[in-house]
Amino acid sequence: MAARSIDEVLAAHTDSLMMLPGVVGTAVGLCDGQRCIKVLLADSSAAAKARIPERLEGYRVVVEVTGVIRPR
């Protein structure tokens, strides 16, 4: 059975990631030339970072602190 694409993995996990305190968004990005999953945080607290897995279904997960994201 083929592994899911990174887009499918992100779609499957976004709701649970967004429920974690401090998470303000998720995205697919480029990390060292490879596609990765980015989890966007409101602040750089160690507690928030500790809740984020290093990998999801084999894809690298990178934490990026963006601050609070608000619609314009």
Question: Whole-prediction pTM value?
Answer: 0.90
pLDDT in tens, 1-49: 458 999 999 999 999 999 999 999 999 999 999 999 999 999 999 999 9
Of 70, 55, 60, 57, nearest in space to 24 by CA: 70
Write down the domain spans for the chain.
6-65
Alpha helices per DSSP H over the chain: 6-18, 46-50
